[in-house]
Amino acid sequence: MIQKLVDTTVSKGRAERELDLSPRFEKFLRKKFKETEIKQIDLEALIKKYHLKGVVFGNYMSQEERYFYCFKTFKQIECLAKLKGSNDIGAGILILSIGAHGIGGNVLAHFSPRENIINLSRGRKDDYSDFMKGENSFVHEYGHFIDFYQGRMKDKTLMHNFASENKNPDWKNQITTGFSAPVIEVKSDESYTKHLRTPYLKSNIEVFARLFEAAITHYVHAHAPAYNAFFPRTYTEGIYYPKSKILKKGYDKKIVSVLRSSL
């Protein structure tokens, strides 16, 4: 199948490339995601549908890498939209950047609030099943985006950039407290916070994004298992609030409510 995926935020021409996806790559996609038919991706249509501003790629990204990231990330977006009950995922401002804005080191992904960009870094190209890791982090970074959108753009009286940074349990904006209250609760659990050894891991912003990522994943596994292949992680790691407690304390449903109230 011939597929062409190019930046949507710049004029076309220079970066335009058209390549066949190899039979080996298509076989990998069918096996990993149990897809019977590998379809063309219409990037412009997806951007419009989910109200994104655009998608950009690193120049060194092959068409197969572009296809893989878009295929997987837009399946995650499709699932988030279903949970949210709305296709407005990007508020018309969110840019998805794939393999273009690496910040070095082992960072697989990050959210840049200044430009409203979610960057998914390019992984190692040893094997299809291993080389594209940044795409697993989209949901985490999306948690940062809606947290920032609520704190900076929606709640005009909040003196923080991110809603999760609110420390007042009686804050009058209840959408903001939807972000901050679960963070305050899980940070009162010492059996969890003992794993958070750096100021970055301890920050409300990071605790919220990890809780968002893990809680959404559990909710998908329980209520939308058709998407399981796109939410493969299990979150037993110490820096994530443990799955057993997320389920016991109902954070999966609380976080889905946060997603529904966002934007």
The 3-class SS string of 39-66 reads CCCCHHHHHHHCCCCEEEECCCCCHHHH
Q: Which is nearer to Zn ion, 202 or 223 (CB)?
A: 202
Q: Which is nearer to Zn ion, 147 or 252 (CB)?
A: 147
The reply on whether position 209 binds Zn ion by CB under 5 A is yes
Query: Cβ 183 to Zn ion, closest distance in Å?
Result: 13
Please tell me the distance from the alpha carbon of residue 207 to that of residue 180, in angstroms, as a whole number: 10
Query: Cβ 237 to Zn ion, closest distance in Å?
Result: 14
Q: Which is nearer to Zn ion, 66 or 144 (CB)?
A: 144
Query: Cβ 238 to Zn ion, closest distance in Å?
Result: 16
| The CA-based dihedral angle spanning residues 12, 18, 24, 26, taken in that order and rounded to the nearest 10 degrees | 60
Query: Cβ 126 to Zn ion, closest distance in Å?
Result: 25
Please tell me the distance from the alpha carbon of residue 37 to that of residue 172, in angstroms, as a whole number: 49
- Region of 130-138, 206-214, 220-228, 252-260 interacting with Zn ion (CB under 5 A): 206-214
The reply on whether position 109 binds Zn ion by CB under 5 A is no
Please tell me the distance from the alpha carbon of residue 1 to that of residue 159, in angstroms, as a whole number: 51
Q: Which is nearer to Zn ion, 3 or 164 (CB)?
A: 164
In the structure encoding, which two tokens stand for residue 92, read together? Answer: 């018309």
Please tell me the distance from the alpha carbon of residue 117 to that of residue 94, in angstroms, as a whole number: 6
Please tell me the distance from the alpha carbon of residue 242 to that of residue 250, in angstroms, as a whole number: 12
Query: Cβ 209 to Zn ion, closest distance in Å?
Result: 4
- Region of 85-93, 173-181, 186-194, 205-213 interacting with Zn ion (CB under 5 A): 205-213
Task: Output phi, psi for 208, to 5 deg.
Answer: -65, -45
The reply on whether position 108 binds Zn ion by CB under 5 A is no
Chain residue at closest Cβ approach to Zn ion: 209
Query: Cβ 227 to Zn ion, closest distance in Å?
Result: 22
Please tell me the distance from the alpha carbon of residue 165 to that of residue 176, in angstroms, as a whole number: 9
Which chain residues interact with Zn ion by CB under 5 A?
209
